[in-house]
Chains A and B, each alone.
Chain A
Amino acid sequence: MTDVGTLDYIWLGIQAVFLGPEAFSIFGLSISITVLMVAFGLILGIIVGATPGLGGVIAMAISLPILISIFGFNSDALLPVLGFLIGVMKGSTVGGAVPAILFNTPGTPDAFMTTLDGYPMAQSGKAQKALKISHFSSVSGDTFSDIVLIVCAPFLAILVEAYLDLPEKTALLILSLSFIAAVVGGSAAKGLLSCGLGLLAVFIGTGEDFYPRLSLGTAALSDGIPITAAVIGILVIGAIFTELENLWHQTRNTGKIEIAKDVGDQRLHWADIKRILPYIWRSAAIGTSIGALPGIGSTLAATIGYATGKRFYARQKTPEDPNFGEGAPEGIAATEAANSSVSGANLIPVLSLGIPGNTAAVFLILAADSIGGFNPGPAVFKFSTDLNPELVVAFGLFTTMILANFLNWTIGGVFMRSLGFLVRIPKQYLLPVVLLLTLASLYVQETAMSAIWFAFGFGVLGYFMRLFGISPLPFVIGFVLGGRLEETARQAFSATGGDPFFLLKSPIAAVFILSAVAIIFFSLRKPKAAKL
């Protein structure tokens, strides 16, 4: 057998996507299932992003069990399923701008800043142009961040494998959890609480002893809490309850939606692109830098991108140009490029460190865990001369991202601009249906009524967490990483001969631990504005 080099891995990844099992052929050209699934995922993502009340997370939660039922638990399933989820992730980011621009209703939280200039543009008869600017900026930002991901993730992973041993990896996990707890949401204390509850939940019914710990002697807890039930309960069902409550409060004062008619030239000219490009690149760089840090969401990127663009615009604009917030195309570009460039960069910590930085990454890890054969983390990027199948999957994943961007550039914009009608679906009908669909999907995956009870219970917990202003994201990331943290700590403790100070003996591990403490300490001194 010949040795496998770096270029061979890249080529094998591309081949795995385009020359995998065939779905159908057009004029003799074979279309693989993975290509088809990326396209389906993108279309579904744009639809759910454009539907207020839904979003990429709900779509991923519902689709995952269906996809696993279709493709089964084998390595051939990895790229179609992960490609579909990548498509949903990218599509929902683009789709979120549709209701924000047309109806002043952000489809996703990170599209809020898009309403500030998008809706005034739509009201002044430039809705189609605003949608085109939003699409162009969003896909540009996303493409930029994917390039950064593809270039950086393998190098970061190689560095991690070369320099970090078990104690350092344990310390890095603790640092990541502290960082996520400190930066997500409006309060470090609440982030830490959310993370602590997630860790506690994942430790119930697990462990190495014969007796399942913290199970209170009950059969229900002795098998542990299914990860999908906890994640879907806290993230999806909790959000559905919160949204339903808003509707309950609004029942008596829902107004009729008025749509302004488009007037004048709606095309996106080269002159328009030249005007918005500096805003796009600046925001894409901001979004990518923010996205590379685990836990910092696209909402913060959108806010900083918008604020930076606004300062730059104030110096550049002519007196007759509209201000930011009054229908400036540059405002849409600055926001959309920033929030979209987070999604690719968010996968840097997942692929290089195995640490999920956002909810989409959590679902990618869930999918990889469920199917098997691919464990996101530094070990993936072992460029061994004997074939490393995980590395082929990683390059296949990069290929699906480039493919999703290509589809987004070509058909995404047209499709996105045709979805304005989705905002008319009454959310009070949609959300309970989505709840039942989510519970059914969960059951299909877990085949246990206890999973439905757990998910519903975690949904109620997620609802109360939101009422207290506690972000559910640290809970989910704590839950996902808790098992690995314990396993790594056990191995590190044994490897150091039972040294109780194993986390402080190596300089790198000590720096990580001290940084974790410092992050929490300094975030306590400076309370932040609430952000998702």
Chain B
Amino acid sequence: MRKLSASTALGLGCIAFALILAFLWIPLDTETGLVERSRGRNIVGDGLAPTLAAAFILIAGVMLLLEQSENDLHPNGNNLFFIGAIAVCGVTGILLMRWSGPAVAIFAGGEEYRLLRDTVPWKYVGFGLGGVTMIFGMISFVEERLSWRALWIALAAVTGIIVLYDLPFDDVLLPPNGDV
């Protein structure tokens, strides 16, 4: 059997996604269809615009099957490993950013984090821990080694961002303090 080119696979994927979008997702997840009758006149329904997007994707899929391309660009195992590792660093950093402040507040046995989120040092716990983890993790992964230098850079960067945003502006809140 002939191996599928990346363009062909992408084209088939687009066609399948566009059909699911047009015939399942849009009809089941939209209140009105393409055109509705309201107060005696026709009006555009909420389903029309996403259907146009689905048409763009469908046409793109068909064109990908027809288009002759010399460069059959597609992700390989290395790419997936890289983005997986970077995503782990990023997601861990964001989760720590969101939850470490409230967690530390609970363990410290003090007040609820919501009441502490605009006071030093509580307001820096999440951003500091999450930010340092994210930067340190990404640098270490790219350099393929752990280094003190990466840690100092992460700490300096987080401190710099706090100085940039938190110190000069009273009404600016660093993550996650605006919506915890």
Contacts and interface: CB of A to CB of B under 8 A. Distances in A.
Interface in A474-527: 482, 485-486, 489-490, 493-494, 497-498, 500, 520, 524, 527
A532 B74 CA distance: 17
Interface string B83-118: 100110011011001100000000000000000000
A415 B25 CA distance: 54
A200 B60 contact: no
Contact of A527 (B31, B52, B67, B74): B67
B82 interface: yes
B161 A200 contact: no
Interface residues of B, number: 82
A265 interface: no
B94 A456 contact: yes
Of A432, A433, A449, A469, chain B has the most CB atoms within 10 Å of the CB of: A432
A207 B75 CA distance: 35
B83 A189 contact: no
Nearest to B70: A527
A196 B60 CA distance: 8
Q: Is the interface of A mostly helix, strand, loop or mixed?
A: helix
Given A190-B60, A209-B32, A200 B21 contact: yes
Interface in B128-180: 131, 134-135, 138-139, 141-144, 150, 153-154, 157-158, 161, 164-165, 169, 171-176, 178-179
Nearest to A496: B42
Contacts of B57: 192-193, 196-197, 200
B142 A195 contact: no
A440 B175 contact: yes
Nearest to B64: A189
A414 interface: no
B178 A453 contact: no
Given A200-B54, A493-B44, A527-B68, A192 B60 contact: yes
Which label, helix, strand, loop or mixed, suits the secondary structure of the B interface?
helix
Given A197-B57, A440-B127, A486-B49, A216 B67 contact: no
Contacts of B94: 439, 449, 452-453, 456
Nearest to A245: B82
9 contacts: A189-B67, A197-B57, A199-B50, A200-B21, A249-B78, A443-B178, A448-B179, A468-B75, A493-B42
Complex A-B, nearest 5 residue pairs according to Cβ-Cβ distance, in ascending order: A498-B42, A196-B56, A189-B63, A447-B178, A193-B60
Interface of B: 6, 10-11, 14, 18, 21, 25-26, 29-32, 35, 41-50, 52-57, 59-61, 63-64, 66-71, 73-75, 78-79, 82-83, 86-87, 90-91, 93-94, 97-98, 127, 131, 134-135, 138-139, 141-144, 150, 153-154, 157-158, 161, 164-165, 169, 171-176, 178-179
Interface of A: 66, 69-70, 181, 186-190, 192-193, 195-197, 199-200, 203, 207-211, 213-217, 241, 244-245, 247-249, 251, 428-429, 431-433, 435-437, 439-440, 443-444, 447-449, 452-453, 456, 460, 463-464, 467-469, 482, 485-486, 489-490, 493-494, 497-498, 500, 520, 524, 527, 530
